[in-house]
Amino acid sequence: MQRKQAANLVNCGYICFLVAGIVVPLLSSSRRERERGWRTLETVGASVALGQAVKRIIPERRPDGKDKTSFPSGHTAYSFAVAVVSSAFEPKKAPLWYLGALVIGFARVKLRRHHWWDALAGALIGLGMARGQLACEEGWLAPLLQKLNSKPT
């Protein structure tokens, strides 16, 4: 398989992984599943913000030499964010979620889009954001939205 075909295959798997962790739960009729979807979306959004800020602070060249946005791996960060939140809601499926995130991170290194330390940093960002999100009983945005929607007394 050529490198471009492999990259396309990995990207398709990555998109499916995100859809399974965010979109499918949001479309569910189950309140718990919708909560999982929103909390995962919040976590990925926070991981995007932090990851993009770090990319601007640390302009590391990619192993394939295409640009200077290698550190940290966004694909790995977002995959681990999905894996951690989904695993908290579906503990029996945790090995599958983590395996998927690991495969995505490994593939990004193997395709020479990231160094191993970029993938590790991305995994830590996703994991840290997810742990912070799950530590809040209702997530980050739900309490804020409740305050914005409440009428002043």
User: How much is the pLDDT for 152?
Assistant: 64
The Cα 25–Cα 31 span in angstroms is 9
User: How much is the pLDDT for 102?
Assistant: 98
Number of domains in the chain: 1
Query: What is the residue type of 49?
Result: A
The Cα 75–Cα 14 span in angstroms is 8
The Cα 132–Cα 39 span in angstroms is 11
List average pLDDT for each run of 10 residues in the chain, which is 153 residues long: 89 97 96 94 96 96 95 98 98 98 97 97 98 89 68 61
Provide the token pair at 61.
Answer: 């060249």
Please state the pTM of the whole predicted model.
0.91
The Cα 153–Cα 101 span in angstroms is 47
Q: Which of 46, 67, 45 is nearest to 56 (CA)?
A: 67
Angle between the N-to-C axes of helices 74-89 and 31-57, in degrees from 0 to 180, rounded to the nearest 10: 160
Residues 117 and 108 sit within 8 Å (Cβ to Cβ):
no
The residue range of the domain holding 107 is: 3-149
